[in-house]
């Protein structure tokens, strides 16, 4: 029986990611990577949205991926698992960069005026740099593929003994795991490109596989949903006060106890809430789920294109820029995959689709 709450978490979080990247693109908090502030406001208080969602936005996707990996492996072999993950995750985040995502690299480099510093470079050098710059949101796919490969090796060693232990996790252990999550965030963090947090995300992925794939554990998480939500909201308010005006995406903030505790409790609240109240599918949720991967892969292209061609030359006032950027994120995220899915080879390289449909 399909666990619809996992599908609903996935597409819902992707929608939040779209809004996140709109605010991120024009943030006034000094978070590098976007265009930056376009308003005359002394303080952009709505940027608090970034601080509020960031600690759990991607962590919950790694937990969900760990759960779904277990569900997939209950009916498929390790070889089938690696093959499917390679097609869906590794191919789009490597070959896809050369086939299409260099376009995102061009826009991102144009926003940062990178081409001004390499005017005399050969075209193929510029192209390779655009390819590297075009990975954008696909860092998630790269890390998830790596964790999937690691999982197959771990499974051969633990032979489900560790997984069976996960069934015994109760409320006190779930709360105590806050410390383990904080410890995991202290190592495996890459410099400069700070999204690659191998310690934290690897831990969350394996917690999803070993613990939250058990119905018994999920019943506990659903039972204490309101406790987790209350704790998460309290920590979230505290984190927003602590981190607003700081670079919440870099050291030392993302390694702080407050960051990881809020992120962990937020993930538990989301799992509990969706598992308890949103474990169903209708026409709307089914459609959103089927199109969530394309939205994730391409939404940032629409947002950044508006930033480059509309916001930077100030063709519109700030409020319309935010609105158009949001619409462009959803429009490109939903429409471009429909086009690419009809192109032989390109659909495989960019979206991991072997056949049309």
Check residue 197 and report its DSSP letter: B
Residue entry with tokens 């169903």: 280
Angle at 50 between CA 241 and CA 254, to 5 degrees: 70
Residue 231: phi and psi, rounded to 5, are -65, -40
In a domain, 356, yes or no: no
pLDDT at 357: 47
pLDDT at 356: 53
CB atoms within 10 A of CB 254: 20
CB neighbour burial string for 147-172, b if at least 16 within 10 angstroms, e if fewer: bbeebbeebeeeeeeebeebeebeee
In a domain, 261, yes or no: yes
User: Which segments in the chain show pLDDT lower than 50?
Assistant: 357
Cα diameter, the chain: 62
Give the burial class of 258: count Cβ atoms within 10 A of its Cβ; 0-12 exposed, 13-18 middle, 19 or more buried.
middle
Overall domain count for the chain: 1
In a domain, 25, yes or no: yes
Calculate the CA 188 to chain-centre distance.
Answer: 18
Q: What is the pTM of this model?
A: 0.96
Q: Helix-strand-coil percent breakdown of the chain, rounded to 5?
A: 75, 0, 25
Parent domain of 120: 4-351
Q: What is the pLDDT of residues 137-162, one digit of tens each?
A: 999 999 999 999 999 999 999 999 99
In a domain, 357, yes or no: no
Instruction: Say whether 189 sits in a helix, a strand or coil.
Output: strand
In a domain, 31, yes or no: yes
In a domain, 121, yes or no: yes
Calculate the CA 156 to chain-centre distance.
Answer: 28
- What SS3 string covers 246-294? CCCCCCCHHHCHHHHHHHHHHHHHHHHHHHHHCCCCCHHHHHHHHCHHH
pLDDT at 116: 85
In a domain, 46, yes or no: yes
In a domain, 32, yes or no: yes
């Amino acid at each position: 029986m399909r666990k619809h709450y996992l599908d609903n978490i996935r597409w819902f979080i992707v929608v939040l990611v779209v809004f996140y990247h709109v605010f991120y693109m024009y943030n006034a908090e000094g978070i590098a990577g976007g265009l930056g502030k376009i308003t005359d406001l002394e303080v952009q208080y709505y940027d608090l949205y970034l601080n509020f969602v960031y600690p759990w936005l991607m962590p919950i996707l790694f937990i969900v991926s760990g759960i779904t990996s277990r569900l997939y492996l209950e009916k498929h072999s390790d070889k089938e698992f690696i093959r499917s993950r390679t097609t869906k995750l590794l191919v789009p985040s490597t070959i896809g960069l050369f086939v299409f995502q260099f376009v995102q690299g061009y826009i991102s480099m144009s926003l940062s005026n990178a081409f001004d510093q390499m005017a005399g470079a050969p075209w193929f050098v510029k192209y390779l740099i655009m390819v590297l710059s075009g990975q954008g949101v696909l860092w998630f796919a790269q890390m998830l593929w790596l964790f999937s490969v690691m999982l197959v090796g771990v499974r051969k060693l633990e032979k489900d003994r560790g997984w069976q232990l996960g069934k015994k996790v109760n409320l006190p252990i779930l709360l105590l795991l806050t410390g383990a999550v904080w410890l995991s965030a202290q190592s495996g963090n890459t410099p400069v490109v700070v999204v690659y947090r191998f310690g934290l995300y690897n831990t969350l992925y394996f917690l999803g596989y070993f613990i939250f794939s058990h119905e018994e554990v999920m019943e506990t998480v659903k039972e204490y949903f309101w406790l987790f939500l209350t704790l998460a909201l309290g920590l979230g308010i505290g984190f927003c006060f602590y981190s607003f005006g700081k670079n919440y995406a870099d050291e030392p903030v993302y390694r702080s106890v407050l960051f990881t505790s809020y992120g962990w409790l937020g993930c538990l609240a989301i799992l509990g809430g969706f598992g308890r109240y949103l474990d169903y599918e209708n026409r709307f949720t089914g459609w959103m789920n089927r199109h969530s991967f394309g939205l994730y892969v391409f939404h940032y292209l629409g947002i950044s294109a508006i930033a480059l061609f509309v916001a930077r030359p100030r063709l519109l006032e700030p409020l319309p820029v935010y609105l158009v950027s949001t619409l462009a994120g959803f429009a490109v995220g939903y429409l471009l995959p429909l086009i690419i899915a009809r192109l032989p080879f390109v659909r495989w390289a960019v979206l991991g689709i072997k056949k049309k449909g």
